[in-house]
Structure 1
């Protein structure tokens, strides 16, 4: 496993071990699978969820940021980095777990120090105010490489912690929206766009197409763990795995799968209608959940978390 893969999940066990479940599963099947619904202080859509050194955080509609602390979810930020209430769509955490980065509508980019509670606003790099769908950060707090996925098909990136004047951009494909981006090395990773394409980079600046031929579905999520270990989730219940020589497709059903996370041969993917599937022993199987809400993102740890529409958070 690469150094980046280890570091980006380093705090899952330490922080999630302190988190307790909050409610009761809605069905016997969900009860058996272990998922419960947590109470949250928001009713707008939550679009992404991450673990940090201080615990779990989720971001969503209206620029809200919530954290799981002391056995409950609470709101720590409202209005986003600019205070304008722009929706937040993507989040990632530095390798040391101390800074949560998030991006969203109208060029919103924020860097939140989970230890001090301070917020830095990096919005509108190069005066660009397009919508941003996802973010990946590598390196330690204060010296991170930052990669922002733009709705206009561009990747905006800074190798100097997003400081003003350090941003550049590149258009990897045809200009279709970049839906998700993930890195396994300091400057090595993958993205998926709205033109049913996957791109890879080894230097953070130059992107080359990496597939997927004849997929015939939209791609929504990507988990890049190594050059030969990349997972993509998409429409029509499709999951694709790059093993270094070929893309291997799996068809789980008909739900659009918005996010995927795999580590050490075990994984989770979530999507429309509260659908969730679990990877174990090389097979993806349905894991019933206590919600019919559309799920947008998932993160694994000692306690797995998924978030979505209506402020839903499910935990296991």
Structure 2
């Protein structure tokens, strides 16, 4: 059921008009973290029996290039970046699990997403690089150049459990390529262009709904079949943001009518099914956001990380001034994490 329409706007927020997404409702997506990891025995990967200081710590990564995105699986967090690097926390340290990307050609990776059960990681990046990685079996399925498309993918989104997941690849021109994984293969649909030509910046998926943002403040939603029968089939709805003249850099969809996006001018926008609420968060650009119920993280330039606490964004004390490109909430077994320039990785302990 959609939330009741608020009687008044929350303090400090600006309400913006928006078109309503589909009336379909889906169960809130939950990350089903398992307790089978040895890390769960101590409640946090990398802690062992040692006393670890609380707060954000610079834990480093075995790469020097920028890390562009990060997601947390049942086997730990995985980050992707320049040169096709894929790095992951394994035990007490971060290690390289893939050195040259899905196609083995060193194409940079820009996006990473994990299935709802946390068992498979999807990767996407330059020159059509795309693939699915199983962190438990350490196996990679290379699907680079899907359906003959070799554009640079700026982001990837996944919804569903490993083996039957729905995939959406977004390129810099704002085109979306949908796919569906079944029985070890992926069936790709037709490209659509929800942004009308504006550069696509981020994509997320939940249930049967896909949400896309662009560099001109646009948000677009699509609910329906994985592969439209015709290229011009209706389906994408403009959800906002009217009157916003700044780039949206990342988006997270918890449900079709519970969405958070962050911007180049340091704001967070929340969608509740009726409209958008703007909350000023930072003085500089925000590049990444992750949210689960009332827990959320956002990160951006100059080492800035903000945590949602008591329904307000609070700046965290971080050990670096590096620019962050990705962040992800942790689980009972793994810490919250942010990744960025020069192989920077920080985790929140305690």
Q: Once the 2 structures are TM-superposed, how far is the Cα of residue 13 of structure 1 from its aligned partner?
A: 7.7
Partner SS state of residue 191, structure 2: strand
| Range with greater deviation from structure 2 (80-89 or 139-148) | 139-148
Out of 91, 94, 104, the position equivalent to 1:83 is 104
1:261 counterpart = 2:290: yes
State the alpha-carbon separation in 2 of the partners of residues 293 and 215 from structure 1.
27
1:139 counterpart = 2:160: yes
Partner SS state of residue 168, structure 1: coil
State the alpha-carbon separation in 1 of the partners of residues 195 and 314 from structure 2.
33
Q: Once the 2 structures are TM-superposed, how far is the Cα of residue 167 of structure 1 from its aligned partner?
A: 3.3
1:196 counterpart = 2:217: yes
1:282 counterpart = 2:282: no
Q: Once the 2 structures are TM-superposed, how far is the Cα of residue 256 of structure 1 from its aligned partner?
A: 0.9
| Range with greater deviation from structure 2 (83-92 or 51-60) | 51-60
Q: Once the 2 structures are TM-superposed, how far is the Cα of residue 135 of structure 1 from its aligned partner?
A: 0.8
Residues 181, 192 of structure 1: 8 Å contact kept: yes
The C-alpha deviation readout for 1:70-113, integer Å capped at 9, x for no partner, is 11101110110111100011011122222111000010001111
Distance 1:290 1:250, change over 3 A: same
The C-alpha deviation readout for 1:275-313, integer Å capped at 9, x for no partner, is 111111121121121110000111112411000000000
Residues 64, 75 of structure 1: 8 Å contact kept: yes
Q: Once the 2 structures are TM-superposed, how far is the Cα of residue 139 of structure 1 from its aligned partner?
A: 1.9
Higher RCO (CA 8 Å, separation ≥ 6 residues)? 2
TM-score computed with the length of structure 1 as normaliser: 0.90
State the alpha-carbon separation in 2 of the partners of residues 19 and 166 from structure 1.
36
State the alpha-carbon separation in 2 of the partners of residues 226 and 180 from structure 1.
16
Partner SS state of residue 279, structure 1: strand
Q: Once the 2 structures are TM-superposed, how far is the Cα of residue 156 of structure 1 from its aligned partner?
A: 0.5
For residue 78 of structure 2, what is the aligned residue in structure 1? 57
The 5 Å alignment of 1:302-313 reads 302=331, 303-313=335-345
1:301 counterpart = 2:327: no
State the alpha-carbon separation in 1 of the partners of residues 72 and 171 from structure 2.
23
For residue 121 of structure 1, what is the aligned residue in structure 2? 142
- In structure 2, stretches of 5+ residues that fail to align are 1-24, 229-234
State the alpha-carbon separation in 2 of the partners of residues 168 and 181 from structure 1.
16
1:41 counterpart = 2:62: yes
1:177 counterpart = 2:199: yes
For residue 28 of structure 1, what is the aligned residue in structure 2? none
Residues 216, 246 of structure 2: 8 Å contact kept: no
Partner SS state of residue 248, structure 1: strand
Residues 90, 103 of structure 1: 8 Å contact kept: yes
The 5 Å alignment of 1:212-223 reads 212-223=241-252
Q: Once the 2 structures are TM-superposed, how far is the Cα of residue 164 of structure 1 from its aligned partner?
A: 6.0
Q: Once the 2 structures are TM-superposed, how far is the Cα of residue 58 of structure 1 from its aligned partner?
A: 0.9
Structure with max Cα Rg = 2
Partner SS state of residue 302, structure 2: helix
For residue 21 of structure 2, what is the aligned residue in structure 1? none
State the alpha-carbon separation in 1 of the partners of residues 249 and 101 from structure 2.
23
Residues 39, 313 of structure 1: 8 Å contact kept: yes
Partner SS state of residue 289, structure 1: coil
The C-alpha deviation readout for 1:149-174, integer Å capped at 9, x for no partner, is 11121000112359466332111121
State the alpha-carbon separation in 1 of the partners of residues 35 and 342 from structure 2.
27
Out of 107, 111, 117, the position equivalent to 2:128 is 107
TM-score computed with the length of structure 2 as normaliser: 0.82
Greater percentage in helix: 1
The C-alpha deviation readout for 1:129-187, integer Å capped at 9, x for no partner, is 111011111222222211001112100011235946633211112122221111121x2
Partner SS state of residue 83, structure 2: helix
